[in-house]
Amino acid sequence: MAGRIEDYALIGDMQTAALIGRDGSADWLCLPRFDSHAVFAGLLGTEEHGFWRVGPAHPAGGDPPPADRRRYRGDSLVLESEWDTPRGTVRIIDFMPPRENHAPQLVRIVEGVSGRVRMRSALRMRFSYGWVVPWVHKEGRRTVAVAGPDSVWLDTEADTYGKDLTTYSDFTVGPGDRVAFTISWEASHRPAPELPEPEEALRTTEDFWREWVETCTYHGPYREAVVRSLITLKALTYAPTGGIVAAPTTSLPEEIGGVRNWDYRFTWLRDAAITLSSLLRTGYREEARAWREWLLRAVAGDPENLQIMYGIAGERELSEAELSWLPGYEGSKPVRVGNGAAGQLQLDVYGEMVEALHLGHMTGLARNDYAQLLQLKLIGYLEDHWEEKDEGIWEVRGPRRHFVHSKVMAWVAVDRTVKLIESGDVDGPLERWRNLRDEIHRQVCEKGYDKERNTFTQSYGSKELDASLLLIPQMGFLPPDDKRVIGTIEAIQRELTTEDGFVLRYPTSSEAGADGTAENVDGLAGEEGAFLACSFWLADDLAMIGRVDEARKLFEKLLALRNDVGLLAEEWDSARQRQVGNFPQAFSHVPLIDTALRLTASGAYGV
Ligand SMILES: OC[C@H]1O[C@H](O[C@H]2O[C@H](CO)[C@@H](O)[C@H](O)[C@H]2O)[C@H](O)[C@@H](O)[C@@H]1O
């Protein structure tokens, strides 16, 4: 039943988010937090797993057709979908008001534009990701669904009726008519949530986003794409704690029908750190400060116990489980909740965290002694562990390796800390860490570089390439004009790009191990799409080595992959010409912003 991934638009209240299809169906919503159980899980199954569709009533009783037009209202997260029907035009305004002291709400206002259009709302709530059919009853005009810890309340002035375990409303709108529907969540043991005020909520929601966007300091040629990406990143931020989810979904597949289905509703140190850097570069200091506070709380304790990811409030227990009753998006099984990568060793996260703290320092974010103490402790940990094998940036589920990118990022962590000590802001073992920095650099250049092919490699001694190597010049490990950097960029262009010019993370086909047996580096079956972040990194590198026209063309091709409301998933399936992976994905929108800033600075646009 679910549409293509790019058929969805995001609305959210910075504590959770919903995906609304072009057909007016809300097919994904977790309440009350991003990582709570879904009330609508139709995205990963069928209508039986929960949805809420509002749209023109089909004369023959079928589902509404896709909307003819969709857009966000200005620079906001308020979605407008419009249908032209034989009887007239109708608009639906969908949004989630940022929470203050009220319950989480999803508001849908139906507005007649012209003619008289017959409409239908069909609401099927299924708690626990489509597993539990709640008990639904009326309390006055309110409809309430209750099961276990959850209650969801439907409020509307339209008449409702129940049929086939679904709550319906059939009504007609003419020009200027507005009929509002609101669902609110409340813990089932608590009193009913207050009656919503949808029109007032619409005003405050639009005001909130307009004011938030005013802070943006980027006014270049890609402003529309940058602002939409920033709004998306803000929507993925869990306001009470400052934690940032990698995406609001679980198990949207990296390969349609495949097993590469992961839960992204957590805060990865890596993803959050790069998000923070983009926010800082575009003027959003408050979010950066809040994330730094989140980080200090989450990682508090012995650096030996640091995890690469946490729950949005800093939770450590993220055990991975499979939801057997869900058939998966277009049959992509298993559907997973929790994420086993939480227990991995990924040495690159030290570099990404320190880089984000360093940028905060450089851009004048108020000094925080604990942040500096944390930075010193992280380097103390790296001193003892940087020579270990790890699972790396891609969180492979195959054997640990000496991933070159991990070592480069270890170098970044030490380099930025040496600079911090040199600035006189903190004390630390300067000479020892300068030597450590040199030692890491020497080892990477010796063991991670293939002289014959003039390219860095995925791991020490391997012949494989890896798109994370594109970060070498961006991190300042080597200058862009170094022949080894140029060789690596060209090798990746030759060997890791799809026919339509986008970049794969690494080859997913098997390579022969030392013992002659075939071994897939990520330990997983199947293949995956081009990784959008890596494709943006290639555009960055091309700009850095002076091939700015090529960089701009690639960037603009990437912009063209965004859906009609400017959103990107994690990957692009070139064969099917479809977005794949969790959606929308911070790790795609962050490099979009970064590349836009780089191209703008280099004057490479509009050539
Ligand atoms: O490819 C296998 C791994 O895929 C996921 O990780 C990816 O998403 C993360 C969040 O955006 C990102 O930080 C990481 O670089 C990506 O590889 C998944 O979360 C892992 O469990 C899985 O092993």
Atom of ligand 1 nearest to the CA of 570: 11
- Enumerate helices (H) and strands (E) in the chain, giving the number of each: 14, 29
Which of 210, 237, 252 is the last residue in one of the domains?
Answer: 210
Q: Are residues 340 and 402 located together in one domain of the fold?
A: yes
Are the C-beta atoms of residues 67 and 75 closer than 8 Å to each other? Answer: no
What distance in angstroms lies between residue 395's CA and the mean position of ligand 1's atoms? 5
Distance 72 CA to ligand 1 centre (A): 29
8 A C-beta contact, residue 528 and residue 506: no
The reply to whether 538 falls in a domain is: yes
506 lines ligand 1 (CB under 6 A): no
Q: Which of 153, 187, 210 is the last residue of a domain?
A: 210
Is the minimum distance from the CB of 341 to ligand 1 under 6 angstroms? yes
Question: Would 216 be classed as within a structural domain?
Answer: no
Q: Could you tell me if the CB of 587 is within 6 A of ligand 1?
A: yes
Say how far apart CA 509 and CA 458 lie, in whole Å: 14
Question: Are residue 237 and residue 328 in the same domain, yes or no?
Answer: yes
Task: Report the atom number in ligand 1 closest to the C-alpha of 585.
Answer: 11
**CATH assignment at residue 116:** 2.70.98.50
Atom of ligand 1 nearest to the CA of 271: 13
CA 122/CA 160 separation, integer angstroms: 10
Ligand 1 atom with the shortest distance to the CA of 247: 11
Same domain, 344 and 400: yes
Beta strands of 31-147 (E only): which ranges? Answer: 38-40, 51-56, 69-72, 79-85, 88-95, 105-115, 117-124, 135-139, 142-147
One-letter-per-residue 3-state SS of 350-413: HHHHHHHHHHHHHCCCCCCHHHHHHHHHHHHHHHHHCCCCECCCCCCCCCCECEHHHHHHHHHH
The candidate with the shortest Cα–Cα distance to 32, out of 104, 97, 96, 99, is: 104
Mutate to test the pocket of ligand 1, among 267, 271, 394 (most ligand atoms within 8 A of CB): 394
Does ipTM come in above 0.85?
Answer: yes
Does residue 264 have its Cβ closer than 6 Å to ligand 1? Answer: yes
Q: What token pair was written down for 440?
A: 């890491």
Q: What is the pLDDT of residue 364?
A: 79
How many alpha carbons fall within 13 Å on the CB side of residue 549?
A: 1
Which phi and psi (to 5°) does residue 85 adopt? -115, 165
Classify residue 595 by its DSSP letter. Answer: H
Stated pTM of the model: 0.96
Between the CA of 554 and the centroid of ligand 1 the distance, in Å, is 24
Could you tell me the mean pLDDT of each successive run of 10 residues in the chain, 607 residues long? 91 98 98 98 97 90 88 98 97 96 94 98 97 96 97 98 96 98 98 97 98 97 98 96 96 96 97 91 91 87 90 96 98 98 97 92 83 92 97 96 98 97 94 98 98 97 96 98 98 96 87 51 87 98 97 98 98 97 98 97 65
Task: Say if residue 133 is in the same domain as residue 273.
Answer: no
Helical residues (DSSP H) of 97-244, grouped into ranges: 127-130, 198-214, 223-235
User: What separation in Å is there between the alpha carbon of 394 and the centre of ligand 1?
Assistant: 6
Query: Is residue 74 in some structural domain?
Result: yes
The residue to mutate among 236, 260, 262, having the most atoms of ligand 1 within 8 angstroms of its beta carbon, is: 262
If you take atom 11 of ligand 1, which residue's CA is the nearest one?
246
Nearest alpha carbon, ligand 1 atom 3: 395
466 lines ligand 1 (CB under 6 A): no
Structural domain includes residue 487? yes
What's the CATH code of the domain at 509?
1.50.10.10
Take atom 21 of ligand 1 and give the residue whose Cα is closest: 341
**Is residue 268 in contact with ligand 1, taking CB distance under 6 Å?**
yes
- Could you tell me the distance, in angstroms and rounded to a whole number, from the CA of residue 421 to the centre of ligand 1? 33
| Ligand 1 atom 15 nearest Cα | 394
For strand 161-163 and strand 166-173, is the pairing parallel, antiparallel, or unpaired?
A: antiparallel
Residue 156 buriedness (CB in 10 A; 0-12 / 13-18 / 19+): buried
DSSP state of 602: T
The H-or-E segment that residue 155 falls in is strand 150-156
**Residue 538 contacts by C-beta under 8 Å, 6 or more apart in sequence?**
467, 470, 489, 492, 493, 497, 503, 554
Q: Is the CB of 468 under 6 A from ligand 1?
A: no
User: Does 428 map to a domain?
Assistant: yes
Specify the residue with its C-alpha closest to ligand 1, atom 18. Answer: 262
Positive or negative CA dihedral for 460, 466, 472, 473?
positive
Ligand 1 mean position to 416 CA, how many Å? 26
Atom index in ligand 1 nearest the CA of residue 505 equals 17
Contact, 72 vs 80, CB < 8 A?
Answer: yes
Is the C-beta atom of 339 inside 6 A of ligand 1? Answer: yes
- Cα 234 to averaged position of ligand 1 atoms, centre (Å): 21
Q: 217 in a domain, yes or no? A: no
The structure tokens 């319906």 sit at 168
215 domain-assigned: no
Q: Is residue 558 classed exposed, middle or buried when 0-12, 13-18 and 19+ CB atoms within 10 A define those classes? A: buried
Tokens at 432, concatenated: 């020892």
Question: Are residue 149 and residue 173 in the same domain, yes or no?
Answer: yes
- The whole-angstrom separation of Cα 105 and Cα 152 is 9
Q: Which residue has the tokens 């058939």?
A: 327
Pick the closest to residue 471 from 489, 493, 446, 451 (CA basis).
489
Using alpha carbons only, give the angle 545, 547, 548 rounded to the nearest 5 degrees.
Answer: 110
Does ligand 1 come within 6 angstroms of the Cβ of 124? no
Atom of ligand 1 nearest to the CA of 263: 19
Q: 151, 180, 210 — which closes off a domain? A: 210
Neighbours of 170 (CB within 10 A): 14
Take atom 19 of ligand 1 and give the residue whose Cα is closest.
262
- Pocket of ligand 1 contains residue 288 by CB under 6 Å: no
> Which atom number of ligand 1 is nearest to the Cα of residue 320?
21
Q: Are residues 150 and 249 in the same domain?
A: no
Q: Same structural domain for residues 383 and 424?
A: yes
Angle at 445 between CA 442 and CA 448, to 5 degrees: 125
262 lines ligand 1 (CB under 6 A): yes
Which residue blocks in 475-546 are alpha helix, DSSP H? 483-495, 532-544
The answer to whether the CB of 522 falls within 8 A of the CB of 393 is no
Whether residue 606 is contained in a domain is answered as: no
The answer to whether residues 587 and 548 belong to one domain is: yes
Tell me: do 545 and 464 sit in the same domain.
yes
Residues 500 and 593 in one domain: yes
Q: Which long-range contacts (CB under 8 A, 24 or more apart) does 208-217 make?
A: 208/98, 209/74, 209/75, 209/76, 209/77, 209/78, 210/74, 210/75, 210/76, 213/75, 213/76, 215/283, 215/284, 216/282, 216/283, 216/284, 217/282, 217/283
- Looking from the CA of residue 246, the nearest atom of ligand 1 is 11
Q: How many angstroms separate the alpha carbon of residue 524 from the centre of ligand 1?
A: 12
Same domain? For 141 and 232 the reply is no
Contact 179, 109 (CB under 8 A): yes
What residue numbers bound the domain in which 525 lies?
222-601
CA dist 352 and 306 (Å) reads 14
Angle between helices 404-422 and 348-362 (to 10 degrees): 30
Q: Which two tokens stand for residue 172?
A: 């007609």
Phi, psi of 262 (to 5 degrees): -130, 155
Which numbered atom of ligand 1 lies nearest the CA of 587?
A: 11
Q: Count how many domains the chain has.
A: 2
* Four-residue CA torsion sign, 180, 51, 8, 282: positive
Beta bridge partners of 137: 144
Q: Classify strands 237-238 and 142-147 as parallel, antiparallel or unpaired.
A: unpaired
Q: Are residues 184 and 246 in the same domain?
A: no
- From 263, 391, 395, 466, give the residue whose CB has the most ligand 1 atoms within 8 Å, as the site to mutate: 395
